Amino acid sequence: MNSRAHFCILSTVQAVAISLLLSSCSGDSPATPTPLKIPERYDTTTYSVSTSDIYQIRDDFEALISKLKSGRDKGITIDYEELATLYAPLKPLTMPEYDPVVESLLQSAVSSSGEDFDPMSDPQDNYYGGVYGGYFFDKYGRCIDENFEKGMYAALLYNQANILIGDGVSATDIDKLIALFGASPSFPNTNRAAVNADEFIAEYAAQRDKNDGKGLYTQMKKALITAQAAAKAGNDYRDDLNASIATVKSVWERALMATAISYMYSTISKLSGSNLDVTTRASAIHSFGEASGIMFGWRFLSSKQRIATDNQLDEVLSLIGMPVNQEPTIHLLWQQPFSELPKLETAIRSLQTIYGFSDADLEDFKTNWVNAQGRI
């Protein structure tokens, strides 16, 4: 071997050694990826195709709600077989643990339709509920359509969202989460928009949002846009995806509980007056139905899937007269408001503690900001 060839071999060996040395000095961990680039708007490319099944669920859900709301007309008699047919496509998608609650509400809708509800009677003395002040109640005073709808926000819509999240989230799954939330990729932040108005949970998140860039709806929008960007960017951004999905779950729950607080405040305000007329009392019982439906349905979720513990929700539900696996005593709220309404105040404070809401938050929750700001 000539000296020139010998020199080339040594140079190659030296180069490899230097390369290994530099690699050793820099450590074995891969290079840190560049920060995730988050777009201003949600990419709608796959949305329509990805969410066709979710919009079918939404349509089926709305059809059953509409049939239950028809019970607000005393001239309407509701048939159980029709309700069962409407519920059939939703039943396999609903938490099995909640099915007895749904069955109870559907049976109550049948027995109470076409009847009159007397809010000042004892539920034990009546078999039927009925219509009162333009709303539809069972014998306990549960607002049938509202308790069904708001409970299914957890048992159906959030349940489906949890199934998606549990399977590992893809970009198309983020599309589905938006649809299950009740929003659209345009995120209008109002249920009064002419096109793609917010529905379901998104509608209430919008009502609790002052549109100042910091509210619950805005937080959800940012989290979903970030989640989509991270899912599309690949495994290097898995931490960003997981963090944004955690925010989605947290805001989803907090928006609903903020709304429950809002409706409890409304119930207190309306029932605190003297010489209540039918319209005011009926509206108060209806408002309570919104609040209690949200919290009662949320209790049936696995404790691993929510912020509030079983014991915390059980305490709140007992305070408001809606304990799990026991007959409701909610009629006492409007029959004995002086002694019972303070329990709603206590329930509100309990939720404040659980979810870390400030006193200013509670004050803001009293307002429907979509209406107050005329957002369209």
Kindly report the number of other CB atoms within 10 A of residue 52's CB atom.
10
| pLDDT score recorded for residue 2 | 46
Domain coordinates in residue numbering, the chain: 47-372
Mean pLDDT of the chain: 92
Confidence of residue 30 (pLDDT cuts 50, 70, 90): low
| pLDDT score recorded for residue 19 | 44
CB 144 within 8 A of CB 108: yes
Q: In whole angstroms, how far apart are CA 197 and each of 193, 201, 243, 266, 318?
A: 5, 12, 27, 24, 35
Residue type, 28: D
| pLDDT score recorded for residue 31 | 63
| pLDDT score recorded for residue 33 | 80
CB 126 within 8 A of CB 118: yes
Residues in Cβ contact with 232 at an 8 Å cutoff, skipping those fewer than 6 apart: 43, 171
Using alpha carbons only, how large is the chain's radius of gyration in Å?
27
| pLDDT score recorded for residue 24 | 42
Nearest Cα to Cα of residue 187 among 222, 158, 212: 222
| pLDDT score recorded for residue 166 | 86
Confidence of residue 125 (pLDDT cuts 50, 70, 90): confident
Determine the average pLDDT of the residues in 230-244.
Answer: 96
pTM score, two decimals? 0.91
Q: Which residues of 205-225 are buried (b: 16+ CB within 10 A; e: fewer)?
A: bbbbbebeeebbbbbbbbbbb
- Is pLDDT above 90 for 77? yes
DSSP E strand boundaries for the chain: 130-132, 135-137
Determine the average pLDDT of the residues in 91-98.
Answer: 97
Give the tokens for residue 257. Answer: 């509980």
Give the tokens for residue 18. Answer: 């230097």
Confidence of residue 312 (pLDDT cuts 50, 70, 90): very high
